[in-house]
Amino acid sequence: MSIFDSKTREVEALIGQLASSSAQEVEVALARLTIIGSRAVEHLISALKSSHFTIRVNAIEALARIGDPRSIAPLLHSLVDPHPTVKAKAIEALPSFPSPKTAKGLIAALKSEQKREYRKAIVNALLSLCQQGIIESLDGLLKLLTDRGEDTQLRLQAMESLKLTDLKQRRQLLKRLSLDPEPQIAHHAGELQMESTRKRRKLPPRKAEKLIARLKSDNYLTWSSALRELPMNDTSLAQPLIDSMFIPSTSTAYCRRVGMALRRMGKGAVEKIYPYLDKVDYFPALEVLIETVSQWRDPHSAVYLKHTLDRLSEEFARAGDQETQSLILLIKGKMHMALADIDSRIALGDLRSMLLHPATLGWLEFLKAAHRVGNRDFLLPLLQLYQHFKKDEWMADQIKEAFLTIKKRERIRSNSSLFKSLDARGKKSLNALLGGKTIAGEKSCN
């Protein structure tokens, strides 16, 4: 029986718990589902069809926390859910999946949606994707902004995207918009033109405190408007925002908003994050900081990430409960992906040790990282993984792709001495991975 089969009952029970009227019970279920991660995704996607709207809403939250790309298409489908809360939650969750596919889906929804409140929320979601570097969302926002037949309030909202354009394009667009027949658009464009010539001022401390307080609100419109008011590319609020995550009773949802705010500040925020990586022990906050560092793919982050990985390995060994160990593994998976994104092989030993234990939670992230940066030492562990998960078609395909990619990158022939010690079962799995080729069919060279 595979690990997926053994977890099915637990996942189904947790999904049932998502219907609870107790916020604490729901949060416990969400936390556990997040830890289970990719193994819960298919069940959560099925839960989006539940007749209980509360389950649908909380399933969306769980999928957003896990961040598995398989969730994108089902969440885009939830944009037409008949229940308004589910629809709003789907819009809020989609920026957790920064990709061209997400942007294109939201742009299509913006065109077909009739209600202004949802269209405003979709524009917010596109702005969030834009801040995460998804250029397709910027293109959609600029088309909205320059469409004179569009809703004026939405166009004003889309003006936020101008701050993410290069100087030349921004000046051209502002010049064009300052001549717009809609007075509000022309006036605001003129103000932005004047603002661009003024020296940027630091946000007053009192206003900064108020913005952070609004960011903590459970009301979507309140915290999203506070997020938009935070100055772009201004890192003066980075430290107060990071510190605010360590206040007792801080929610995971608030930590995610801080992550959005930090990404909004640009690459300069990464320098403010590095000193915290080696001392943060509140895992939702550490996860957000790692995701922010990963977003900007700074080569200098490798050393900081390696030190933090070493610290987490020590904490994992000391942890006395499975829940804490699971959270640590989940974060380590994200850190290895961050290292893979900058093509760093500074922690291959740790990555391989994680891959050698397929029962570890968060192992899918380790697999993805191995796919990107693994060397020949990863091939036999991947072969073992394939044997373990060969009955699960989706997982087997992921392992096969990683195996073949590393084999090609490292120029390992199918009859390499690396595979000579395989038993009959191992050779059979190797043949399956190679698409039925015989092991003796090539001239050995490794």
- Per-residue pLDDT of 414-426, as tens digits, reads 889 999 889 988 8
Question: If you count them, how many residues does the chain have?
Answer: 446
pTM for this predicted structure: 0.69
Q: Which of 1-10, 56-65, 71-80 has the lowest mean pLDDT?
A: 1-10
pLDDT higher than 50, residue 441: no
Task: Give the model's pLDDT for residue 171.
Answer: 87
Q: Which of 87-96, 190-199, 404-413 has the lowest mean pLDDT?
A: 190-199
Mean pLDDT on 331-355: 92
274-299 per-position pLDDT tens digit: 999 988 888 889 989 998 898 888 88
The dotted CATH code for 3-195 is 1.25.10.10
Q: What span, in angstroms and rounded, lies between the C-alpha atoms of 31 and 15?
A: 12
Q: Which residue has the higher pLDDT, 216 or 39?
A: 216
Q: Which residues contact 98 (CB under 8 A, 6 or more apart)?
A: 129, 132, 133, 134
How many other C-beta atoms can be found within 10 angstroms of the C-beta atom of residue 319? 15
Task: Give the model's pLDDT for residue 387.
Answer: 85
How many other C-beta atoms can be found within 10 angstroms of the C-beta atom of residue 141? 28
Secondary structure E strands in 325-439? none
Q: Give the model's confidence band at 398: pLDDT under 50 very low, under 70 low, under 90 confident, else very high.
A: confident
Q: Which residues contact 20 (CB under 8 A, 6 or more apart)?
A: 26, 29
Task: Give the model's pLDDT for residue 234.
Answer: 72
- Whether 201 and 212 have beta carbons less than 8 Å apart is answered as no
117-128 per-position pLDDT tens digit: 999 999 999 988
The helix, strand and coil proportions of the chain, stated in percent and rounded to the nearest 5, come to 75, 0, 25
Angle between helices 53-66 and 38-47 (to 10 degrees): 150
Q: Which residue has the higher pLDDT, 357 or 375?
A: 375
For the chain, give the mean pLDDT.
Answer: 86
- Whether 47 and 15 have beta carbons less than 8 Å apart is answered as yes
pLDDT higher than 90, residue 358: no
| Tokens linked to 405 | 């990619």
pLDDT higher than 90, residue 193: no
Mean pLDDT on 179-198: 83
Mean pLDDT on 89-108: 93
Q: Give the model's confidence band at 8: pLDDT under 50 very low, under 70 low, under 90 confident, else very high.
A: confident
pLDDT higher than 60, residue 149: yes
Mean pLDDT on 82-111: 93
Q: What span, in angstroms and rounded, lies between the C-alpha atoms of 382 and 407?
A: 11
Task: Give the model's pLDDT for residue 257.
Answer: 87
How many other C-beta atoms can be found within 10 angstroms of the C-beta atom of residue 5? 11
Domains of the chain: which residue ranges?
3-195, 375-446
